[in-house]
């Protein structure tokens, strides 16, 4: 069995040690490195084969946002899952823009963190629902002029494509979206590729940001 190779990045040594101890109890997880800031994390990426990073967002010297930017610039295939609090909305937006694959609360149950890791590795966007609600509430006045009809017209999007964008923002996989919309997994995959092309976006994470900013996620 190929284990998921993890690095834990947090400026608190007890947090790093505790998370490493617990995560290593899962048979398909191997914590291979840890770091106290983003710069140290980048150095570890150059020395270790890493699949996913659990990245704290607030750290001295080099925080999780800058760390995400530096690492994704050099290691595009490494997944980064942000560990956050309710007060880090601005940081979350920046980290997602730099290529993070999602965010979960720092005090989440370890089983939830484990499931988030598994989902991330599969290519899904991990969005903690409580934090997502806070983002939506804080961005309620963002781009008031935008509405679904104008978005559809501007980007030549169909009702089906809008529905798919909404489900992507919910963190659903292609298979799960297909089950909700009664479409095949292959059809969803093709539609998402078309949507990304129309919106000139790189990946599902950027698509999720688009959904939040244009109020599609809260439909």
Q: Are residues 14 and 74 in the same domain?
A: yes
Q: Are residues 9 and 80 in the same domain?
A: yes
Q: Are residues 56 and 158 in the same domain?
A: no
* Contact between 31 and 56 (Cβ < 8 Å): no
Range of the domain at 75: 4-137
Return the pLDDT at 137. 59
Q: Are residues 167 and 206 in the same domain?
A: yes
CA 50 to chain centroid, in Å, comes to 17
Domain assignment present for residue 143? The answer is no
H, E, C per residue of 86-105: CCCHHHHHHHHHCCCCEEEE
Q: Are residues 122 and 188 in the same domain?
A: no
Q: Are residues 56 and 100 in the same domain?
A: yes
Return the pLDDT at 46. 95
Q: List average pLDDT for each run of 10 residues in the chain, which is 219 residues long.
A: 93 93 95 95 96 94 91 94 76 83 87 92 81 59 60 91 90 91 93 95 85 76
Q: Are residues 175 and 133 in the same domain?
A: no
Return the pLDDT at 94. 81
Q: How far apart are the first and last CA of the chain?
A: 41
Total domains in the fold of the chain: 2
Q: Are residues 168 and 132 in the same domain?
A: no
Q: Are residues 65 and 103 in the same domain?
A: yes
* Contact between 29 and 23 (Cβ < 8 Å): yes
pTM: 0.68
Domain assignment present for residue 103? The answer is yes
Return the pLDDT at 117. 95
Domain assignment present for residue 142? The answer is no
């Amino acid at each position: 069995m190929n284990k998921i190779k993890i690095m834990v990045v947090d400026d608190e040594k007890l947090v790093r040690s505790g998370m490493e101890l617990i995560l290593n109890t899962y048979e398909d997880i191997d914590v291979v490195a840890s770091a106290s800031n983003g710069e140290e994390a980048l150095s570890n990426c150059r020395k270790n084969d890493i699949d996913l990073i659990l990245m704290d967002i607030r750290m001295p010297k080099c925080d999780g946002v800058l760390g995400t930017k530096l690492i994704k610039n050099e290691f595009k295939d490494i997944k980064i899952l942000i560990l956050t609090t309710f007060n880090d909305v601005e940081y979350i937006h920046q980290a997602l823009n730099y290529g993070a694959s999602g965010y979960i609360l720092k005090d989440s149950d370890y089983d939830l963190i484990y499931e988030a890791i598994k989902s991330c590795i599969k290519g899904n966007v991990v969005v903690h629902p409580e934090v997502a609600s806070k983002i939506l509430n804080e961005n309620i006045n963002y781009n008031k002029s935008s509405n679904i009809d104008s978005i559809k017209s501007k980007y030549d999007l169909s009702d089906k494509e809008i529905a798919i964008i909404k489900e992507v923002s919910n963190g659903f996989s292609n298979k799960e979206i297909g089950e909700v919309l009664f479409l095949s997994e292959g059809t969803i995959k093709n539609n998402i590729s078309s949507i990304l092309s129309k919106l000139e976006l790189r990946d599902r994470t950027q698509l999720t940001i688009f959904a939040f900013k244009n109020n599609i996620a809260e439909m």
